[in-house]
Amino acid sequence: MKEQELIPHLFRTEYRKIVSVLCYLFGIEHIETAEDIVSDTFLSATELWSQKGVPDNPTGWLYTVAKNKTKNHLKHNSIFTEKLAVELKYGTSEVEEINIDLSTKHINDSQLAMIFTVCNPSISTESQIALALNLLCGFGIQEIADAFLTNKEVIYKRLNRAKEKLKAEKIKIEQPTPAEIDARLDTVLTTLYLLFSEGYYSTSQNTVLRKDLCAEAMRLAYFLVENASTNKADVNALLSLMCFHASRFEARMNEKGEIILYEDQDTNLWNQELIGKGEYFLEQASRSRYLSKYHLEAGIAYWHTQKEDTNQKWESILQLYNKLLQLEYSPIAALNRTYALAKANGKEEAIVEAEKLALTDNHFYYSLLGNLYTDIDNTKAIQHLQTALKLALSEADKAIIKRTLDKIMA
């Protein structure tokens, strides 16, 4: 890997690890200090590696420099060190000699503690996702701003408010107890689900696919599966869902960056290895009697990876949507159900159900009605698609609506 590619890659993979360890050591109230030390470490790498070349073990170099910078900070910042000594119930000299443990086990322990700290219900969902991107995934402020289709100032304020709230609540960065895992795992999974969703269908940069966001959500979900204390049925179900969706990434967009509808996708581009992993994690999730929305959504996603367009496939998807809506109603899930209903029972029945939803501020609603009315009442189909075109925000969505309109009007 070239030097200009190596440092951004290491920043993404190692920044979060070192920050987690230092935050675990210093506490949430000193999160900025941890970030400053790690940022300064990468700045040193940028300057020195450009002059002297990349060291044989760049990751080891970063860890060593981060340790040294932390010890120097403790040694030379007497106010910080004295305050930390009181908080940690150590003497000042003991704090200065603290071992900065960057072993794999300690990094994993620190990251697990950080996940449950960041996904604390005392801060808003938006702030949880922003903090997760920043502290758990190593995303820069500009990248987060791009993901949320906003500017850096908004993200700065959002992150700072979240950090101040965690400080005010005196939230400790520590290993979650079994009771805390049970109480807060749902919040953690919601954050990861939304993080993946932002990547899978992103309004930022006029694209519907941000693989980097999805990859980070999958990495964190896999991290939870690998940890014995968080290897729960719903975690496996969520990771299964992500694998199934990710398996169709390459088929979802063409070379122009335009969306390819499900029925038009080249199934040869579907990733069979990811489909296999999705099946494995879904099987693991099914060993428990507990049924979450992630189980049902993973089941729906599984059937979408089956190439044969059979009635059994769409009837199975329809029944899973019925169970999902009973478990946790969502207007978008209800909208998606009508597509499965059309495939299983015909367009006429689906039109009746879709129009009951009346999601008049949603372009997907009008796009679906346009699809359902095609070849039944093309005038209505065109009207709905034109409304969808007015409501759509991304260029990718607009492009596919225009293509559908052109086919009907040809």
With respect to residue 75, please indicate whether it lies within any of the assigned structural domains: yes
Question: Which of 72, 102, 132 is the last residue before a domain boundary?
Answer: 102
With respect to residue 109, please indicate whether it lies within any of the assigned structural domains: yes
Please give the span between the terminal C-alpha atoms of the chain, in angstroms, as a whole number.
50
Q: Do 12 and 97 sit in the same domain of this protein?
A: yes
Residue written as token pair 């993946």: 196
Q: Do 222 and 109 sit in the same domain of this protein?
A: yes
CA distance 8 to 249: 24
Q: Do 251 and 207 sit in the same domain of this protein?
A: no
With respect to residue 321, please indicate whether it lies within any of the assigned structural domains: no
Instruction: Give the domain extent around 151.
Output: 103-231
With respect to residue 24, please indicate whether it lies within any of the assigned structural domains: yes
pLDDT at position 72 is 87
The 3-class SS string of 265-281 reads: CCHHHCCHHHHHHHHHH
Q: Do 55 and 137 sit in the same domain of this protein?
A: no
Q: Do 213 and 114 sit in the same domain of this protein?
A: yes
Residue-wise pLDDT tens for the chain (410 aa)?
A: 666 678 888 888 899 999 999 999 888 888 899 999 999 999 999 999 989 999 999 999 999 999 999 988 888 787 677 777 777 777 777 766 777 889 999 999 999 999 999 988 888 888 888 898 888 888 888 888 877 778 899 999 999 999 999 989 888 898 999 998 998 999 999 999 988 988 887 655 545 457 888 999 999 999 999 999 999 999 999 999 999 999 999 999 888 777 888 989 999 999 999 999 999 999 999 999 999 999 999 999 999 999 998 999 999 999 999 999 999 999 999 999 999 999 999 999 999 999 999 999 999 999 999 999 999 999 999 999 999 999 998 888 898 999 999 999 87
Give me Rg for the CA atoms of the chain. 24
With respect to residue 322, please indicate whether it lies within any of the assigned structural domains: no
pLDDT at position 1 is 60
pLDDT at position 206 is 41
With respect to residue 241, please indicate whether it lies within any of the assigned structural domains: yes
With respect to residue 319, please indicate whether it lies within any of the assigned structural domains: no
Dihedral in degrees, nearest 10, Cα atoms 286, 289, 292, 295? 20
User: What CA–CA distances, in Å, run from 183 to 24, 121, 186?
Assistant: 21, 10, 7
- Please name the residues in contact with 243: beta carbons below 8 A apart, sequence gap of 6 or more: 218, 274, 275, 277, 278, 281
Q: Do 125 and 161 sit in the same domain of this protein?
A: yes
With respect to residue 272, please indicate whether it lies within any of the assigned structural domains: yes
Number of domains comprising the chain: 4
Q: Do 366 and 301 sit in the same domain of this protein?
A: no
Nearest to residue 354, comparing CAs of 344, 366, 320? Answer: 366
- CB burial of 217-234 (b: ≥16 within 10 Å; e: otherwise) equals bbebbbbbbebeebebbb
Instruction: Enter the tokens of residue 144.
Output: 């987060």
* Half-sphere exposure for 386 (CA within 13 Å, toward CB): 8
C-beta of residue 212 within 8 angstroms of C-beta of residue 230 = no
